Structure 1
Amino acid sequence: MSLSVDVFVLDEHGGRRLAESPADGSDLAGFESWRTEVWGSPAVSSLGARYFPTLATGDLVVAPDEVPDFLAECDLIRANLHAIAPADGVRKPHQWYVAQISARLSNVRDAALRAQRIGGGVIVW
């Protein structure tokens, strides 16, 4: 199972309505196991991140007014990819994790930029 990232807009009753994803984009945000192994890991929390670590216990919802702070956190994660990526393991080498996390982070950041343009929020689930 995989994590997905989507953009939402709030309707007149405060409910979330998913915005259409661009045809050339990707909604992949990582493997389900990344909730705790990557995004919600102690390495991410130790950076002072406050959004991504919530994935360890549930879905991540970024309200429209929080998107600028979330984009800053995406930049913080990107600057620390080598520290966040798991070490060489039995399954994959460290560099594979760095590349995969970078690609999924790009998808999340792209969604946040789309959300910012339309006054929407972001959900990773």
Structure 2
Amino acid sequence: MTLSIGVLYIDKSSGLEKRFSLPPGKHLFGFESYRERIWGADIMTHLGLIILPNLLHIGCFSITGDRLNQLEREGHIILDNIDLITEQTRYDSKENIKFHVDNLLDAIKLAKQSDGKMIIG
């Protein structure tokens, strides 16, 4: 199974919540095992992450408003500490982690631009 990212917004003409169609591969946020191995690893909370470590215990959650800013900070913390994270998690693919965090940051940008929300799970 795969963790996915989605971005939802309110369609102004209909008032209905809709989901953006992300480009191929931009919805990916890692394998299901990343919940424990990467996003929920002790190093993440040690670095001050608050939102992403919740993937260890919560199947799917949405992020809106100011929490998008917090999640964006978490993405940058991961990128700034990617060497330490790969060392501590014993996961040897910095490129893979970077790919997923880049997807996260792109989705956050889209959610902010559309006054929408993100779903991760």
User: What does residue range 1-125 of structure 1 map to in structure 2 within 5 Å?
Assistant: 1-9=1-9, 17-23=17-23, 26-58=26-58, 59-85=60-86, 86-87=89-90, 94=92, 97-125=93-121
How many residues are aligned here? 114
Point out 4+ residue stretches in structure 1 off by more than 4 angstroms.
none
Question: Unpaired segments of 5 or more residues in structure 1?
Answer: 89-93
TM-score, normalised with respect to structure 2: 0.83
Instruction: Give the counterpart letter for 1:69 in structure 2.
Output: Q
Cα shift at 1:55: 0.3
Q: Percent identity?
A: 27
Instruction: Give the counterpart letter for 1:118 in structure 2.
Output: S
TM-score, normalised with respect to structure 1: 0.81
Per-residue CA deviations over 1:49-87 (Å, capped at 9, x if unaligned) read: 001100000124212332122111111111111121232
The answer on whether the counterparts of 1:67 and 1:112 sit within 8 Å (CA) in structure 2 is: yes
CA change 1:83–1:56 in 2 (3 A) is: same
Cα shift at 1:123: 1.2
